[in-house]
Amino acid sequence: MKKTTFIQDENAIFLKGNIHSHSCNSDGSLTPKEMKEAYKHHGYDFLAVTDHNFYSDTRKLSEYNFTMVQGFELYANASNDHDIHVNFLWADSIDGIKPNSKVALPERSGKVSIPFCYDLRKKGAYVMLNHPHWSKLKTPEIEDNNPYDAIEIINYATEWLERTGDGTVFWTEMLHRGLKFWNGGDDDNHNHQDLDSMYSDSFGGFTVVKARNRSAEAIIEAMKCGSFYTSEGPSIYDFYVEGNEVHVLCSPCERIFVCGEFRCFQRKFGRHLTEYVTKLVGKEHMVRCEVMDARGRSAWSNPIYLDEEYYSKGSKEND
């Protein structure tokens, strides 16, 4: 039996998008329309404008070949009151969130933030814990029972500006605890520099979903079931387990890694690699892959959970 996170639909398509960005409605420099045009020009298929504590309604900017996903980024707190930022994404509307209005907590504390995250998740939002390294967050500060669907592992703006945008180690540690998290990658762009400048914080990290169609509903569906990968450049065309073999198909790369827990780790190095087939070590509860191109840019698959009982301890509370 073939196991994969990618949607198995012969009509499904790969769509490239940025799921974390800021407009002039919060602390960005461009309007949502200007941002949409810039990403469309650079070959993207969708964009989420996630302003700080403000929901910028961009539904009218969607076109046949470019989709606007709805959302915002919340200034929040972990349960121990450590400052965190949380992304919320949805397709069309969420009960209680008014278009083009501020979204602020009555009190910025863990006891208010966490229930708020659970509530929006119940209402259909996709919930991502943003830039853990930039937030100086440690893995023990996130409980086993938590409201997050994903952890942002690549945040281009904070990585470029302050070398704090890499959340891969944080994500890996959480997976080793037996917790289920998808990954996430994006720009977190504010566009205070020209788009064609070397100092631009746009077009560096992105998410590629395999969705049934181009609609916002299909994009959110793909994200919720892990039918996507995070990238700085390379493409992952397929990643699956069949029998006791792991299969990776990708754009030309120099390194392909297959990762399980701890030391269940395998690799293939070479020039213009586009495929890697290897056997499971036999101790994996989950398996995922990373591919790296000649420029040192990586792409990360989501985990395929092979042992659902092992990962059940990481199930989300209140689902």
Provide the pLDDT for residue 317.
56
Which is higher by pLDDT, 194 or 314? 194
* This prediction's pTM: 0.96
In the chain, what percentage of residues exceed pLDDT 90? 92
CATH 3.20.20.140 corresponds to the domain 2-231: yes
Q: What is the DSSP string of the chain?
A: -EE-SS---TT-EEEEEE--B--TTTT-SS-HHHHHHHHHHTT-SEEE---BTEE---GGG-BTTBEEEEEEEEEEE-TT--EEEEEEEESS--TT--TTEE---SS-SHHHHHHHHHHHHHTT-EEEE--TTTTT--GGGS-SS-S-SEEEEEEHHHHHHHS--B-HHHHHHHHHTT---EEEEE--B---S-TTSTT--SSSSEEEEEESSSSHHHHHHHHHTT-EEEESS--EEEEEEETTEEEEEEEEEEEEEEE-STT-EEEEEEEEEEEEEEE--S--SEEEEEEE-TTS-EEEEPPEES-HHHHGGGPPTT-
Give pLDDT tens digits for 105-115.
999 999 999 99
pLDDT in tens, 82-130: 999 999 999 999 999 999 999 989 999 999 999 999 999 999 999 999 9
**Domain-by-domain residue ranges, the chain?**
2-231
What would the pLDDT profile of 16-56 be if each residue is shown by its tens digit?
999 999 999 999 999 999 999 999 999 999 999 999 999 99
